[in-house]
Amino acid sequence: MSHSEKAAIFNKNEAKVNWHDKALWFVREKRDTAAHKVKGWEYLRELASGIKANVLSNLDNYLIEFETNAVKNGIKVHWASNAEEHNKIVHSILSENNATKVVKSKSMLTEECHLNPYLESKDIEVIDTDLGERIVQLAKETPSHIVLPAIHKTKEEVDELFQKHLGTKPSNGNPEYLTNEARKHLRNKFLNADAAITGVNFAIAETGGIVVCTNEGNADMGAHLAKVHIACMGIEKIIPKEAHLGVFLRLLARSATGQPITTYSSHFNKPALGTEMHIVIVDNGRTEQLSREDFRSSLHCIRCGACMNTCPIYRRSGGHSYDATIPGPIGSILSPGKDLTKHSSLPFASTLCGSCTNVCPVKINIHEQLYKWRQLIVKDVKQPLIKKTILKIMGKVLARPKLYAIFGKSARWMLTYAPRFMVYSKLNTWGKSRELPKIENGNFDQWYKNRNKNG
Amino acid sequence: MKVGLFIPCYINQLYPKVGIATLELLEKLGVEVYYPTGQTCCGQPLGNSGYEENAKGACQVFVENFKEYDYIVGPSGSCIHHIKEHFDILEQTDAVKNVRNNSYELCEFIVKILGKKNLGASFPYKVGLHKSCHGLRGLKLGSCSEKMDAYYSTEEELLKEVKGIELMSLKRKDECCGFGGTFSVFEEAISVKMGKDRIQDHLDNGVEVITGADHSCLMHLDGLLNRNNQPIKVMHIAEILNSSI
């Protein structure tokens, strides 16, 4: 199903759309307020973008530097060229440690690799410990937002879900009660976990350490209690120096939720005594995206989700309408690089308003890349015959002024004289909920001709 | 100074009064305006739909029509933005470069090139300004709510000088209306919802007339207003700046 079809279904419940839109707009406004408090915000974005561009241009060297330093610190580093390899590596680490119970903090990469179903098929229990992720996991859904995974769910829906899975009492969606119950449930899982998996926000080449940002402290809980910590990262998570955190940590949480900083910015530099620490570095299509000049800067992304919160289409269509691991504007420029046919409707799920580009803390020109994907998609993916024919004819007409004059006249004649039932038929999608313009006498060309005749 | 008047295709065919107001306004300001009659369209509907290749002919017709003018002025931010941004598909001859460099949206031309703000208009109504995205974020006709730059708005500078006008402020100052060219048809549900939400913001703030520098957005909003019998009119900013009510 295309984005527009899924979005139309989401829009059948207008009250829910309004709620979803307002919830995310609230976050966007919080972001504005937070960013306004930082002197030189636009300069910070410039710096972040520059650092990321440097990383992408020298990625091979930085990755090797990172690996060397991480190994020196006693971390075991693994390389995976795709999702399958990533999953196998994680599974083999777990097997070697006889780990059957795993707690996992937020990681879009492991979503991308579909790690959970893979491990579950090997009889390993994986518990997502981020509250939002736990909610979607219990609901057997995927995150609809990369920072707010359960934003599509109301507290009443969470109430029902918890009653069913955690045995809670009905509470009319009392957030305090539900959060406390989730805490108790998760605490038990933390205490009994054999291994912890986390994502990586930043991997620092000069130190070989990683930084994980959470608000719930769940990454720390998992990693500190379990004997084995596996951190999974895409190759683009590298930053050259620890000092660069001063740029990225200031941008990340403000852009994401409007907080000055996440509650926890946890630095993992080496395994604690008696424990193991592994880092799995994953490509999974990133090198290919890096090779596409027009789209390489999409790899600057630090997964803040600001483009989703600001996107008027995302806010009104919900994350699941994108049918991709990363939804929203950034997902719409990343996903076509992975599977052009499957994701061919996504670059069209935008008015090219450019708000995403303006909020992006690492200055990815998202809306320009959407435009560029469109040009490639109509060439490489079969298009609806009507759309293709109309637009190609249009191209020919607009290149011939005389033909254009005839077309303009007949279109206006149709709109003026054709009966309403003909104009507002099923073929007229515009007219489903909107009136067509009322035709005035003649067009500008005629008016101008007459004026000059009379004048 | 020779100015070529660019009247976008949909304004030519559907909203001649917007073209007339633009021409009259420029003449009132003492500009020597010419209207090249062979003009068709900037090709934006094709480019935005992914058929940029098929728009080359239209782009060339545009350049042929306008290459000899000092300035090209049109009452549509998004068409001007398309010329500046996407005529990179043509071979960059001097003519193409000149056309791209010298194309101006009407308000920007009046404020930046003519250096005028008070145009002697009067319009005693409560007006809400719709800041169209391509004019705002593309041509930078104003500061954007996402950015931390100092506040400015080219259209507001002109509207503030209109006698009797009351500019109403909105809750969401520069959210997209959901038109988006062929988006309005291929993503109909979202497009309509976005438009409805924009209108509600204007209704909530007592707006009588929605104006803007892009009539395509206004056409979309007008289609919704008329279908739902809502008590707001839309007028292109050229019509307000040219009025003496």
ipTM of the complex: 0.97
**Confidence (pLDDT) at A65:** 98
- Domain contains B120: no
Residues 6+ positions from A364 with CB-CB distance below 8 Å: A49, A297, A298, A300, A301, A330, A333, A357
B101 and B131 part of one domain: no
The answer to whether B229 contacts chain A (CB < 8 Å) is: no
Mutate to test the interface with A, among B10, B11, B39, B40 (most CBs of A within 10 A): B40
Q: Do the chains contact at B187 and A313, CB–CB below 8 Å? A: yes
Query: What residues of A are in contact with residue B187 (Cβ under 8 Å)?
Result: 3-4, 7, 313, 348-349
Q: At what angle do helices A41-57 and A59-72 cross, to 10 degrees?
A: 90
**Residue B134: closest CA among A269, A367, A230:** A367
Cα separation of A359 and A308, whole Å?
A: 10
Residues 6+ positions from A59 with CB-CB distance below 8 Å: A235, A236, A238, A290
Cα separation of B25 and B213, whole Å?
A: 14
- Mean pLDDT by runs of 10 across the 455 residues of chain A is 96 97 98 96 98 98 98 98 98 98 97 98 98 98 97 96 97 97 97 98 98 97 97 98 98 98 97 97 98 98 98 98 98 97 97 98 98 96 88 91 88 81 84 90 91 77
DSSP B179-229: -TTTHHHHTHHHHHHHHHHHHHHHHHTT-SEEEESBHHHHHHHHHHHHHTT
Q: Do the chains contact at B49 and A4, CB–CB below 8 Å? A: no
Query: What residues of B are in contact with residue A439 (Cβ under 8 Å)?
Result: 14
Q: How many CB pairs under 8 A join A and B?
A: 210
Tell me which of B64, B90, B113 is where a domain ends. B113
**Residue A150: closest CA among A159, A104, A346:** A159
A266 backbone dihedrals φ, ψ, rounded to 5°: -95, 130
B107 and B139 part of one domain: no
Q: Do the chains contact at A375 and B179, CB–CB below 8 Å? A: no
Residue of chain A whose alpha carbon sits nearest to that of B148: A36
- Domain contains B205: yes
With 70 as the cut, is the pLDDT of residue B163 above it?
Answer: yes
CATH of the domain at B196: 3.40.50
B109 and B130 part of one domain: no
Q: Do the chains contact at B192 and A41, CB–CB below 8 Å? A: no
Residues 6+ positions from A323 with CB-CB distance below 8 Å: A1, A3, A6, A342, A343
**Confidence (pLDDT) at A408:** 86
Q: How far is B206 from chain A (nearest CA, A)?
A: 21
Closest Cβ opposite residue B57 in set A4, A395, A449? A395
**Confidence (pLDDT) at A455:** 63
Answer for the pair B151, A319: CB distance below 8 angstroms, yes or no. no
Instruction: Give residue for tokens 């029509």.
Output: B65
B131 and B235 part of one domain: yes
**Residue A298: closest CA among A373, A246, A248:** A373
Strand partners, A196: A103, A229
Closest Cβ opposite residue B12 in set A3, A376, A408? A408
**Confidence (pLDDT) at A134:** 98
Cα separation of B197 and A290, whole Å?
A: 38
Cα separation of A392 and A397, whole Å?
A: 9
**Residue A30: closest CA among A217, A212, A179, A253:** A253
Mutate to test the interface with A, among B176, B193, B222, B239 (most CBs of A within 10 A): B193
Mutate to test the interface with B, among A39, A294, A313, A398 (most CBs of B within 10 A): A398
Closest Cβ opposite residue A378 in set B19, B50, B190? B50
The answer to whether B37 contacts chain A (CB < 8 Å) is: yes
Residues 6+ positions from A386 with CB-CB distance below 8 Å: none
Rg (alpha carbons) of chain B, rounded to whole number? 17
What's the structural domain count of chain B?
A: 2
- Domain contains B15: yes
B101 and B182 part of one domain: no
Q: How far is B111 from chain A (nearest CA, A)?
A: 24
**Confidence (pLDDT) at A232:** 98
Q: How far is B241 from chain A (nearest CA, A)?
A: 19
The answer to whether B150 contacts chain A (CB < 8 Å) is: no
B134 and B108 part of one domain: no
- Tell me which residues of chain B, numbers 69 to 108, contact chain A at a CB-CB cutoff of 8 Å: 86
- Tell me which residues of chain B, numbers 151 to 210, contact chain A at a CB-CB cutoff of 8 Å: 172, 175-176, 178-195, 197
- Domain contains B119: no
- Domain contains B69: yes
B60 and B138 part of one domain: no
Q: Do the chains contact at A4 and B219, CB–CB below 8 Å? A: no
Task: Determine the 3-state secondary structure of A420 from DSSP.
Answer: helix
Q: Do the chains contact at B148 and A38, CB–CB below 8 Å? A: yes
**Confidence (pLDDT) at A374:** 98
Closest Cβ opposite residue A358 in set B61, B137, B175? B137
**Residue B125: closest CA among B198, B226, B225, B207:** B207
Amino acid at A77: V
Q: CB neighbours (10 Å) of residue B73?
A: 25
Cα separation of B50 and B181, whole Å?
A: 12
- Domain contains B77: yes
B101 and B14 part of one domain: yes
B108 and B158 part of one domain: no
Q: How far is B203 from chain A (nearest CA, A)?
A: 17
Q: CB neighbours (10 Å) of residue A96?
A: 10
Q: What would the pLDDT profile of B70-94 be if each residue is shown by its tens digit?
A: 999 999 999 999 999 999 999 999 9
Which structural domain range is residue B61 located in?
2-113
Cα separation of A65 and A68, whole Å?
A: 5
B56 and B130 part of one domain: no
Q: How far is A133 from chain B (nearest CA, A)?
A: 27
Answer for the pair B122, B99: CB distance below 8 angstroms, yes or no. no
Q: Do the chains contact at B16 and A442, CB–CB below 8 Å? A: yes
B159 and B197 part of one domain: yes
Amino acid at B241: L
Cα separation of B26 and B29, whole Å?
A: 5
Q: How far is B133 from chain A (nearest CA, A)?
A: 5
- Domain contains B118: no
Query: What residues of B are in contact with residue A445 (Cβ under 8 Å)?
Result: 12, 37
Residues 6+ positions from B97 with CB-CB distance below 8 Å: none
Residue of chain A whose alpha carbon sits nearest to that of B64: A399
Q: What would the pLDDT profile of B127-158 be if each residue is shown by its tens digit?
A: 999 999 999 999 999 999 999 999 999 999 99
A296 backbone dihedrals φ, ψ, rounded to 5°: -65, -35
B107 and B136 part of one domain: no
Query: What residues of A are in contact with residue B172 (Cβ under 8 Å)?
Result: 25
Strand partners, A103: A127, A196
Query: What residues of A are in contact with residue B132 (Cβ under 8 Å)?
Result: none
Q: Do the chains contact at A396 and B57, CB–CB below 8 Å? A: yes
Tell me which of B81, B113, B145 is where a domain ends. B113
